[in-house]
Structure 1
Amino acid sequence: MQLEIDIINAFTDTQFGGNSAAVIITKEWLSEPLMQSIAAQNNLSETAFLRRRSDSEYQIRWFSPLTEIDFCGHATLASAFVVFRRHPHFKGLNFFAEAVGNMHISRNSDGLISMDFPSRPPQPLASIPSDLLEGLSITPTEVLRNNQAYFAVYSAEEDILRLQQDAAKLARLAPYDVVVTAQSKKYDFISRYFWPANGGAEDPVTGSIHTGLAPYWGEKLGKPSLIAHQASKRGGLQHCQLEEERVIISGNAVPYLNGIIDVAE
């Protein structure tokens, strides 16, 4: 069986920046073992599989090299980029995922792709896991959590840039990942994302976690519109807009590869 595959760099306007995601569109779902094997072979943060319901409506699932992921923002952006590229007359798309619900995707006149996601703000914790504190080289000033990750908040962005992780200890926090974040001088806030339990040591750019970071920093800074930078080696930029119980996350994407893979079902 031959499948068309695209690899897209998301949340960047440069060729080798942002976070790479593979995108495969099918009429029917492949088997879960096959999707997981393809994602492991690709060895990217995520491979997105889309099941076409109509030209502008798709179901979407995301797989890291290790497991299926409930929600992935950068691979959603990559998927929308692929669909818009194949259908240049489209202005909007509708994606659906079990854990997220309906997501409206639009293409803006400035070239950005905007994704309408549910807001998932983090909540304070009664106690902080020792593996979290021991797994980060700098002690945070505040720790919160949503249904995706622990939020370790710092008072200085320099702490985010020089912080080191102990991946073995952070992996014990499964099923939760860890995001570290601080207010920024150049941007509204910056972050880094560690997910050794679910995908890898450090994710280059993580769209999903900004559905928690944006409402957190929006409340702290008193701003409904924020610009966020994920300070990984590749780096990525996200535009966030708070709208009641939703977060609109926008970004650029750059194509890297289009090809055919041969797999046996």
Structure 2
Amino acid sequence: MQLEMFQIDAFTDRLFGGNSAAVVPLQTWLPDALMQSIAVENNLSETAFFVRQPDGTYAIRWFSPLSEIAFCGHATLASAFVLFRQDSAVKKVTFTAPAVGSIDVAQRADGRITMRFPLRAPEPAERIPPALLKGLSIAPSEVLVSDQAWFALYENEQSVREVVPVPELLATLGPLDVVVTAPGLDHDFVSRYFWPANGGLEDPVTGSIHAGLAPLWAVRLGKSDLVAQQASARSGIVYCQVMPKHVLVSGDAVLFLQGIIQLPD
């Protein structure tokens, strides 16, 4: 059996930046174990699989090298990029996933892709786990939490760039991940994302967490349109617009690789 696969750099307009995702379009679902094995073999932050549904939407699933992920932004952007590239007449698609429902995606005239995510603002943490505080080399000034991650807030961008995670401690916080964030110097806010329990030490660019970061900083900065930088080694730019119940998360993408997966018949 042969499967077409694409590798896309998402949230960047240049190769070798942003976050890489593998995209595997399917006619029907493969066994879960096989999709996980493909993700392990790819060894990228995520591998996305999608299947077109009778109503024209696409059911989508995301796998890290460790496990299936409930919600992934950059691999959704990458999947939409593949669909738009395959048919230039298509400018809008809808993905569906149990954790987030429908994700409407549109491509602008300049090629930038906009995804509509549910608003997932964090709340103040009633209890801060000791592993979180011990797992970050710089103590945060404030801690919030969402269904996806612990939010460690800092006063400045330098702290976000300099903080060193202790993966063995942060891994004990699973299934929640950890995002560190602060106001930015050249961007509205910056962040880094650590997820040793679910995928790896540091995710290069995490689209999904901006459904929580954007509403957080929109309130604190007094603006609904924000430009964010994820300050990983690869770096990436995320454009956000906060609405009453949704967050529009936008970014660029570039094709790195197109090939064929060879599987036994």
TM-score class normalised by the smaller sequence: over 0.9
Matches within 5 A, 1:216-235: 216-235=216-235
Name the CA distance, whole Å, in 2 between partners of 1:18 and 1:60: 21
Name the CA distance, whole Å, in 1 between partners of 2:243 and 2:56: 24
After superposition, the CA RMSD in angstroms is 1.0
Name the CA distance, whole Å, in 1 between partners of 2:240 and 2:153: 19
1:142-168: CA deviations, max 9, x gaps? 000100000000001100111100000
State the 1:53 CA deviation: 1.7
| Contact 1:24 1:48 (8 Å CA) reproduced | yes
Q: Residues 56, 86 of structure 1: CA spacing in aligned structure 2 closer, same or farther, 3 A cutoff?
A: farther
State the 1:109 CA deviation: 1.6
> What secondary structure does 1:126 align onto?
coil
State the 1:126 CA deviation: 1.3
> What secondary structure does 2:53 align onto?
strand
State the 1:110 CA deviation: 2.3
TM-score between the two structures when normalised by the length of structure 2 = 0.98
| Contact 1:93 1:106 (8 Å CA) reproduced | yes
> What secondary structure does 2:84 align onto?
helix
The residue that corresponds to 1:105 in the other structure is: 105
Name the CA distance, whole Å, in 2 between partners of 1:185 and 1:5: 38
Letter in 1 for 2:199: G
The residue that corresponds to 2:59 in the other structure is: 59
The residue that corresponds to 1:248 in the other structure is: 248
Matches within 5 A, 1:44-123: 44-53=44-53, 56-123=56-123
The residue that corresponds to 1:41 in the other structure is: 41
> What secondary structure does 2:227 align onto?
strand
Moved more, 42-51 or 52-61: 52-61
1:187-220: CA deviations, max 9, x gaps? 0000000000000000000000000000000010
State the 1:57 CA deviation: 1.9
TM-score between the two structures when normalised by the length of structure 1 = 0.98
1:218-262: CA deviations, max 9, x gaps? 010111100000000000000000111100000000100000011
| Contact 1:150 1:176 (8 Å CA) reproduced | yes
> What secondary structure does 1:172 align onto?
helix
Gaps of 5+ in 1: none
State the 1:88 CA deviation: 0.5
> What secondary structure does 2:169 align onto?
helix
> What secondary structure does 1:216 align onto?
helix
| Contact 1:56 1:92 (8 Å CA) reproduced | no
Letter in 2 for 1:178: V
1:99-134: CA deviations, max 9, x gaps? 110011000122210000100000001121000000
Q: Residues 26, 259 of structure 1: CA spacing in aligned structure 2 closer, same or farther, 3 A cutoff?
A: same
Gaps of 5+ in 2: none
Name the CA distance, whole Å, in 2 between partners of 1:116 and 1:264: 38
Q: Which of structure 1's runs of 4+ aligned residues deviate more than 3 A?
A: none
The residue that corresponds to 2:21 in the other structure is: 21
Matches within 5 A, 1:53-202: 53=53, 56-202=56-202
1:1-39: CA deviations, max 9, x gaps? 110000000000011100000000111100000000000
Letter in 2 for 1:33: A
State the 1:264 CA deviation: 3.2
1:44-65: CA deviations, max 9, x gaps? 0000000112595210000000
